[in-house]
Amino acid sequence: MTERVALITGGARGIGRAIALDLGAKQWSIAICYRSSKQEAQETKQAIEKFGGRALAICCDVSDPDAAHNLVHQVENTWGHIDVLINGAGPYHRVHLFEETPGGWADMLHNNLNPVLYLAQAVAPGMQTRKYGRIISFGMANADKMEAQPFVTGHYIAKAGVLILTRTLAKLLAPEGITVNAISPGFIDSGSAPPGELDGMEKKIPAGYIGELSDTTSAVRYLLSDEARYVTGANLQISGGWGI
């Protein structure tokens, strides 16, 4: 395909932004959606355009099914199709389970898991028509272990759900030439962690250091490549051995 189009949720900051810039530098057309990071979204859009790529920055709450579908239709109406969906949006907070509020609990599930389904439902028809597509969702290193997580329970449950949903979508869409995979980062210096959270983590990571944004963009680049055309339903851990 001569023109490649990617929709990246959470593309204004952190890992999502790094992916948007990486693909934008290769002249992909990039649509990023954001909910509150308007300035960062505009800066990311401008950076992509400086590379010579096309970019959209769209404010959207993808936890709303109608809004998620409208987002997809807006991008398709603008550029004709979507080749790649990257689910990068998803809040995170640390709170003891017995101190969690109904609102905080709902936010973790509604914003980390539900958009993966809503957006897949919206992009699948176009991808099925073209017999091509790539969907990548971000999980969490060790979410596949189903361990007790007293301080990140809602987030952990949502990310475990992302893995189940990834495998289910992969099985359903494989006959249509569409791959669906997950990337599960460990500790990545993305600029989004609260101050001090990464301090001292090196000693807990077998590789001995905190991951960089380039570690995630390289993984995305592989899963989008023709070399990964037979890879679907996978969960690629980017963690330096943490969480395994």
Look up tokens 């398709």; give the residue: 76
34 is catalytic: no
Nearest CA among 76, 34, 77, 73 for reference residue 57: 34
Question: Residue 149: how many CB atoms within 10 A of its CB?
Answer: 19
State the catalytic residue, choosing from 118, 132, 156, 230: 156
CB 59 within 8 A of CB 33: yes
CA distances to 92, 100, 120, 153, 232 from 228, rounded to whole Å, are: 30, 40, 20, 32, 8
CB neighbourhood size of 131 (10 A): 10
Catalytic residues: 156
